[in-house]
Amino acid sequence: KQEVTQIPAALSVPEGENLVLNCSFTDSAIYNLQWFRQDPGKGLTSLLLIQSSQREQTSGRLNASLDKSSGRSTLYIAASQPGDSATYLCAPYSGGGADGLTFGKGTHLIIQP
């Protein structure tokens, strides 16, 4: 059974800093990994999807890396802004068909103005 750990659990920094959020997973036989953002009481917004054959995926100020063999992924946020404040969840996908995602507990991020 896939187990996902996210470090740190919470992070509060002043705006402008570059940040690294970490995700580790126990079953490295994955097809891809998704990073999501969740605002309080809201649904999940997909930020990046990185396939198992890829090492990195970028969207704007966000960059996700994947080291499948070691069971690790990082989400890099450049030049953080107060609007980046949210909970960030990672979810590796192991299923060959329709299969649910297993989520980490998330990193709760606060960017101070």
- Cα 92–Cα 98–Cα 102 angle in degrees, nearest 5: 30
In the bound complex, what is the minimum distance in angstroms from residue 8's beta carbon to other proteins? Answer: 15
Specify the DSSP class assigned to residue 40.
T
Q: Which residue has the tokens 């690294």?
A: 20
Interaction between residue 60 and other proteins (CB under 8 A) = no
Stretch that binds other proteins, among 21-29, 33-41, 56-64, 69-77 (CB under 8 A): 33-41
Which residue's CB is nearer to other proteins, number 15 or number 101? Answer: 101
Q: Which residue has the tokens 């960017």?
A: 111
Q: Which of residues 74-113 bind other proteins (CB under 8 A)?
A: 89, 91, 93, 95-106
End-to-end CA distance of the chain: 40
Residues that bind other proteins (CB under 8 A): 31-32, 34, 36, 41-46, 49, 51, 89, 91, 93, 95-106
